[in-house]
Amino acid sequence: MTISTTAIPLLVREQIAHPIVETSTGQTVVPAPDEEARRLAADVGRGDETAFRTLYETYHPRLFRFALVLSRGDEFLAQDVVQAAFLAAAKKLRRAESEEHLWNWLARVARQQLARKWRKHQRDLAFISVDSLSEEFPAAEPDSVLEEILDAALRAIEPEDRALIEIFYFERRSHKEIAGQLHTTPKAISSRLERAREKLRSLIKRKLPHET
């Protein structure tokens, strides 16, 4: 499958619902998450672009949150990591045993992509040594820990800043859209977002264990 980064939106507005299947008896059945994950991975492996779009729309919001903490609050690096992870999925994903297995695969690829980007650009981010970042995905669920760190950081900032970050990054509204909603100017929104980003980055770095 050939997928370009321009074909992938930066962040979808919401996750899609699980597909509903009607049986021969007229009953509606929602496929079990593990069954759906197995089918989705197999279809992506066969080059089905509709399946890839479903994969992207379903997992992008969670993977972005995960990458945002991995990158110590660097949203631009997080976006690059997520894009690279999905491009890798388009090329290499072949199967998944369960929904958990599929998520773990994506999260592991995101870790690998982050390490590679740091090495490629020889960035001194002063956040973490790349040498300490293992490319092996541990048996535990570190993504849950990272998501808790992000949630805690969001709860620690002022409600107005938290709402602004969530609208901009997780709902992907533009400065102009937010300005219209809040009856202010795009320039004012840009300034407020920059201050909110700095607060969030600082909190994430303080809360994140050095060994993660």
Domain ranges for the chain:
5-207
Identity at 89, one-letter amino acid code: A
Kindly state the helix (H) or strand (E) to which residue 59 belongs, with its residue range: helix 49-70
Distance CA(56)–CA(90), nearest Å, equals 10
Q: What is the pTM of this model?
A: 0.63
Inter-residue contact 69 to 149 (CB < 8 Å): yes
Quote the pLDDT of residue 123: 46
pLDDT by position in tens, the chain (length 212)? 544 433 333 333 333 344 444 445 555 444 588 899 999 999 999 999 999 999 999 999 889 888 888 888 888 888 999 999 999 999 999 999 999 999 999 999 998 888 887 776 554 444 444 444 443 333 334 566 777 788 888 888 888 888 888 888 777 788 899 989 889 999 998 999 888 888 888 888 777 665 44
**Residue that has been written with the tokens 């997520």 in this structure:** 82
pLDDT at 105: 92
